[in-house]
Structure 1
Amino acid sequence: MPRWLKVIAIVAAVLVALFVILLVTGGPGGHGPGRHMSKAGSGASGTYAPVVLMQAPVGGSLA
Structure 2
Amino acid sequence: MIFPLEELVKFKGGMYEITVAASRRAYQLAMIKDPLVDENDGKVVSLAARQLFTGEVQYRIDAPKN
Taking structure 2 as the reference length, what is the TM-score of the superposition? 0.33
Structure holding more helix per residue: 2
Q: Which has the larger radius of gyration?
A: 1
Name the structure, 1 or 2, with higher relative contact order (CA <8 Å, separation 6+). Answer: 2
Taking structure 1 as the reference length, what is the TM-score of the superposition? 0.35
